[in-house]
Structure 1
Amino acid sequence: APGENARLWDEFYDNGIMGLGWDELGDLDQYSSKEEIVEKLQDIHDTTGSKKNDATANWEFKNVIAIGDIIFAKNGRKEYLGYGIVTSDYYYDSSRETYQKCRRVNWMRKGSWFPTDHTIVLKTLTEASEEHLSKLRKLFGLENLELNEQIPLTKRRQPKNLILYGAPGTGKTYALKNDYFPQYTISEQSVTPEMYFEEVVGGLTWWQVIAIALLEMGPSKVADIYENRWVAKKAQLSESKNVRATIWSNLQFHTVQESKTVQYAQRQAPLIFDKMQDKKWMLLEAELREQAPDLFDLVEAVNNFSAKPKKEIRHYVFTTFHQSFSYEDFIEGIKPVMDEGKNELSYTIENGVFKDLCLRAQNDPGNRYAIFMDEINRGNVSQIFGELITLIEPDKRIGAANELRVKLPYSKREFGVPLNVDIIGTMNTADRSVEALDTALRRRFSFVEMQPSPEVLEDSTYDDVDLQQLLRAINQRIELLLDKDHQIGHSYFIGIESLGQLKQVFRNKVIPLLEEYFYGDYGKIGLVLGGAFVYREEAVAQFARNFSYDNDFMEEKTVYRFTSAEDWDEQAFISIYEN
Structure 2
Amino acid sequence: MNIEELASILRNNYTNADKGNKVSAIHAFGVQYANEIKENNYLATEIIKKSGLNESYSTELSKGIKLYDYMKNMSTDVENDTEHELLSKLPWCEIAAIAMYKNDKNYKYTPTEVKNLPLVVLAKKIKKAESPSIGTELRECSNDMTTDYHRKTRNLFIRENDLYYLSENGIKYVEENFSYMISDDIDMPLNQILYGPPGTGKTYFLGKIKNQIMEYNKKVFAKKQSVKENIMDLSWSEIIALGMYKANKTNSYKPNELYKLEYIKEYIDDKKENGGATPECSLRSDLMRNSIKCDALSESGKTGNDYFEYEISKKVYKLSQNGIDMVENALSKYINPSDKKEINEDDFCKFITFHQSYSYEDFIIGIRPDTDYDGGLKFKEKRGIFKIICDDALNNPDYKYLITIDEINRGNISKIFGELITLIEANKRWGNEEQQKLTLPTGGTLCVPNNLYIVGTMNTADKSLALLDVALRRRFEFVPKYPVYDIDGIYYVDFLKKLNETILLKKKKADYLIGHAYFMDKKKQPKLQDILNKKVIPLLMEYFNGDKGCVAEILKAADANIVFKDTFHLEVI
Question: What is the TM-score when the length of structure 1 is the normalising length?
Answer: 0.44
- Structure 1 or 2: larger helix share? 2
Q: Which has the higher contact order (CA 8 A, sep 6+)?
A: 1
- Structure 1 or 2: larger strand share? 1
Question: What is the TM-score when the length of structure 2 is the normalising length?
Answer: 0.44
